[in-house]
Amino acid sequence: MSLKSFKANESPANIIDALRRDGGVIVREVAQVSLVDTVAAELRKELDSFDKSSDFIGRKTRRCGGVLAYSPSSAKLIAHRLVLDVADAILLPHCAEYQIGSTTGIEILPGESEQQLHRDDSPYPLQLAGFELQIGVMWALCDFTVENGATRVVPGSHRFLRAWHRPDLSSWVPAEMPKGSVLFYMGSTWHGGGANRSSTPRTGLINTYSLGWLRPEVSNTLEVPPAIARKYDERVRRLLGYTTHGTCQDQLGHYRGDDPVWVHRVTGDAEAAARGQVPGISDSREAALANSQPT
């Protein structure tokens, strides 16, 4: 089994079908090279100053998290229309609003060995039949090849039972894709970084999106505090968690006791009602915050 690799003009419906079927899908050359180069340049300082290592991260891999704090251009990838289309289809049937789980620049240096295969949703100790808790989105900030450590994906592994034993993961395939392409995979799909046997780094930006009623992997409102977050548009602020999940008595993440949302809900009252929720109320602090100046 392999991963489908589509051109950028493929219909989102076909991309989503392939993701549902195979647990992962590649869409080639979605982002312009100039944007990808700008994002890579904005991540550079943080990647270069990374000084940790672990069995999971690797010994020759650099990482940087919370990228919206220092990479404004990454917002164009994080809230890319195709990404939102895919996240809407996979996550939105199961939550009122989804959120960023994490945003991470990952640079695999020459000489790095294979990362262990894993599932990103393993922090959540539950499996709910028929739906995913999160998705992963890996942007290729350079060409991803089998030599330089393209992400390894086990097609179909989102259907593996979560048995006590490790499943057979030997059928992984490398997500080879040119710079500017994007790999989508389910939170339940087994995957991991590849070994870099080339002479150049392999750089990517991996973002996860999770159901809004789960605790996100990263505390995004601390990583990207209000003074920075307010520079982004409403969609990005919502993804960062500057909003509530649900409405009225079904609300999660509220602040000071009522509806604190810093951003307007896009979910219409009709949709909320269809989900069994009742419409929310507005808050004057929302406008005050939106108009305040960064400190």
Ligand X SMILES: O=C(O)CCC(=O)C(=O)O
Q: Does 106 bind ligand X (CB under 6 A)?
A: yes
* Residue closer to ligand X (CB basis): 155 or 246: 155
Q: Does 265 bind ligand X (CB under 6 A)?
A: no
Q: Does 101 bind ligand X (CB under 6 A)?
A: no
User: Smallest distance from the beta carbon of 106 to ligand X, in angstroms?
Assistant: 4
* Residue closer to ligand X (CB basis): 90 or 195: 195
Largest CA distance in the chain: 57
Contact by Cβ (8 Å): 247, 265: yes
Contact by Cβ (8 Å): 56, 186: no
Q: Which stretch binds ligand X (CB under 6 A): 70-78, 125-133, 186-194, 224-232?
A: 186-194
Q: Which stretch binds ligand X (CB under 6 A): 71-79, 83-91, 188-196, 221-229?
A: 188-196
Q: Which stretch binds ligand X (CB under 6 A): 11-19, 20-28, 190-198, 231-239?
A: 190-198
Strands (E), the chain: 4-6, 24-27, 61-65, 98-108, 134-140, 152-153, 173-174, 182-186, 191-192, 202-211
SS3 220: helix
Q: Does 191 bind ligand X (CB under 6 A)?
A: yes
Q: Does 239 bind ligand X (CB under 6 A)?
A: no
Q: Does 188 bind ligand X (CB under 6 A)?
A: no
* Residue closer to ligand X (CB basis): 24 or 193: 193
Q: Does 134 bind ligand X (CB under 6 A)?
A: no
* Residue closer to ligand X (CB basis): 204 or 246: 204
User: Smallest distance from the beta carbon of 231 to ligand X, in angstroms?
Assistant: 28
User: Smallest distance from the beta carbon of 140 to ligand X, in angstroms?
Assistant: 10
User: Smallest distance from the beta carbon of 262 to ligand X, in angstroms?
Assistant: 29
Pick from 73, 99, 103, 151 the residue near ligand X by CB under 6 A: 151
The single-letter code of the amino acid at 225 is P
Please report the sign of the dihedral spanned by the C-alpha atoms of residue 159, residue 161, residue 162, residue 166. Answer: negative
Binding mask 200-229 for ligand X (x = CB under 6 A): ----x-x-----------------------
Collect all residues with Cβ–Cβ distance below 8 Å to 201 and sequence separation of at least 6.
107, 108, 109, 110, 142, 148
Q: Which stretch binds ligand X (CB under 6 A): 15-23, 40-48, 185-193, 222-230?
A: 185-193
Q: Does 193 bind ligand X (CB under 6 A)?
A: yes
Nearest to 100 by CA among 119, 126, 127, 74: 74
DSSP 106-149: EEEPTT--PPPPB-TTTTS----TT--SEEEEEEESS-B-TTTT
Place of tokens 């100790």: 125
Q: 87 exposed, middle or buried (CB, 10 Å; 0-12, 13-18, 19+)?
A: buried
Collect all residues with Cβ–Cβ distance below 8 Å to 66 and sequence separation of at least 6.
103, 218, 220, 223, 224
User: Smallest distance from the beta carbon of 210 to ligand X, in angstroms?
Assistant: 14
Q: Which residues bind ligand X (CB under 6 A)?
A: 106, 108, 115, 120, 151, 191-193, 204, 206
